[in-house]
Amino acid sequence: AVAPVERSVTLLGATGSIGSSTVDLIRRARDRYRVEAVTAAKNAAALAALARELGARFAAVADPALYDELKTALSGSGIEAGAGPEALVEAARRPADWVMAAITGAASLKPTLAAADRGAIVALANKECLVCAGTLFMRRAAAAGATVLPVDSEHNAVFQSLASGRRAEVARIIITASGGPFRTWPIERIRQATVEEALKHPNWSMGPKITIDSASMMNKGLEIIEAHHLFAAGADEIDVLVHPQSIVHGGVEFVDGSMVAQIGPPDMRVPIAHCLAWPARMAGATRLSFDKLASLTFEAPDEVRFPALRLAKAALTTGQGAPTVLNAANEIAVAAFLDRKIGFPHIAALVEATLDASAARGVLREPADPDEAVAVDHTARSLARDLLPEIAAKAF
């Protein structure tokens, strides 16, 4: 039998979709995991309850105004409270062997980097920090001897498949995409899509930001950039394949023609369990029944109906600060769509306009340190906000 892993863990973004799936797995193997720190954006009550249940030593909320509320909710527990961006970084710095990076968006960058900088095992769910500052992040992780484990299902699949050969023997990396709720819709109907329709993902239950990204296929665009950084792969080495059943998550084609793929149920607890127990395996929460699978189908992605895919690839090819701008503009666009300030096709339109405007201003320098990444990110966000009314007025 494989010896059980015993590790101390910190959960950044503990109250979210990925955070909750991670907690579910920890609950099933409480004797093997000791929780050091947990963080959340705003929900102090839920965070305090979680910290108490898991016996965490430190809990931090992103919103500094919530310090007193969290402190009161933790009173008598002996659990330390923290609030504000510095407290999130402190949570990451605390000595846990393993850190789940599951904060949404570029806000994850500094805390995740703090975990990498001290050489932790970083289970990376957040993709925006690789898109925003991937070169910097991977360089710092390597320098500190950190282990970066991909949680994103497609990248976890590629990571597992890569174990069948050597990196130099890889001909092609494949990540699959469900195609989202609008996969079969004509372009005219996609243009009229509502927030409710975009939030109805056919296979996965996820946080709102990534669910909208899946509908626009920007999620897959971000994932191409993520794969580029995680596996040191060129844009031409990474293929996207639309696979509506979300059973084959990704794989690798080796030079001899062998293709190795990872297959599993569309449940994030599978890749999270792989990372939580890595390099061992733990008992999981779900199993795939092959006899219940009617068929597995594959098709090429459509960049005309889903322009976000084209924009992300172009940003990767342009390099420098273009992916940072792409990510920042997309975060603004998705938030505006969820707030019903813009329509669905305006998301990609705003991202494209922001990329063009940034290129024209010549601010597309590759971020060399986290402050520079944050500065490029902030500039792009204000540019996107400035462009928002003009884009919102566009008729599609």
| Contacted by 107, from Mg ion, ligand NAD, none: CB < 5 to 8 Å by type | ligand NAD
22 or 153, CB closer to Mg ion? 153
Contacts of 166 (CB under 8 A, 6+ apart): none
Contacts of 171 (CB under 8 A, 6+ apart): 253, 254, 255
Mask of contacts with ligand NAD, 261-300, x by CB under 6 A?
Answer: -------x--------------------------------
152 or 267, CB closer to Mg ion? 152
| Contacted by 36, from Mg ion, ligand NAD, none: CB < 5 to 8 Å by type | none
270 or 364, CB closer to ligand NAD? 270
Q: Rounded CA gap, 66 and 84, in Å?
A: 9
Q: At closest approach, how far in Å is the CB of 226 from Mg ion?
A: 8
40 binds ligand NAD (CB under 6 A): yes
Q: Which stretch binds Mg ion (CB under 5 A): 76-84, 145-153, 268-276, 351-359?
A: 145-153
Q: Rounded CA gap, 135 and 125, in Å?
A: 17
| Contacted by 377, from Mg ion, ligand NAD, none: CB < 5 to 8 Å by type | none
Contacts of 139 (CB under 8 A, 6+ apart): none
| Contacted by 252, from ligand NAD, Mg ion, none: CB < 5 to 8 Å by type | none
285 or 357, CB closer to ligand NAD? 285
- With CB under 6 A as the contact rule, the residue among 10, 15, 112, 330 that binds ligand NAD is 15
| Contacted by 102, from ligand NAD, Mg ion, none: CB < 5 to 8 Å by type | ligand NAD
67 binds ligand NAD (CB under 6 A): no
Edge-first strand listing for the sheet containing 238-242: 238-242, 170-177, 248-254, 259-263
Q: Which amino acid is at 376?
A: V
Q: Rounded CA gap, 342 and 280, in Å?
A: 46
153 or 379, CB closer to Mg ion? 153
Q: Rounded CA gap, 87 and 98, in Å?
A: 18
Q: Which stretch binds ligand NAD (CB under 6 A): 13-21, 165-173, 241-249, 360-368?
A: 13-21
87 binds ligand NAD (CB under 6 A): no
- Residues across the chain: 396
152 binds Mg ion (CB under 5 A): yes
Q: Rounded CA gap, 259 and 170, in Å?
A: 10
- With CB under 6 A as the contact rule, the residue among 120, 149, 206, 227 that binds ligand NAD is 206
- With CB under 6 A as the contact rule, the residue among 57, 110, 127, 381 that binds ligand NAD is 127
Q: Which two tokens stand for residue 192?
A: 């009229």
69 or 154, CB closer to Mg ion? 154
Per DSSP bridges, beta strands 147-150 and 121-124 are: parallel
Residue showing tokens 């797995």 = 25
CA distance readout (Å), 291 to 30, 157, 283, 288: 33, 22, 22, 9
Q: Please give the size of the binding site for ligand NAD, defined by CB under 6 A.
A: 25
Report yes or no: 99 and 278 within 8 Å, Cβ to Cβ: no
- With CB under 6 A as the contact rule, the residue among 9, 18, 315, 328 that binds ligand NAD is 18
Q: Rounded CA gap, 91 and 99, in Å?
A: 10
70 or 276, CB closer to Mg ion? 276
Q: Rounded CA gap, 64 and 92, in Å?
A: 17
Q: Which stretch binds Mg ion (CB under 5 A): 94-102, 144-152, 200-208, 289-297?
A: 144-152
267 binds Mg ion (CB under 5 A): no
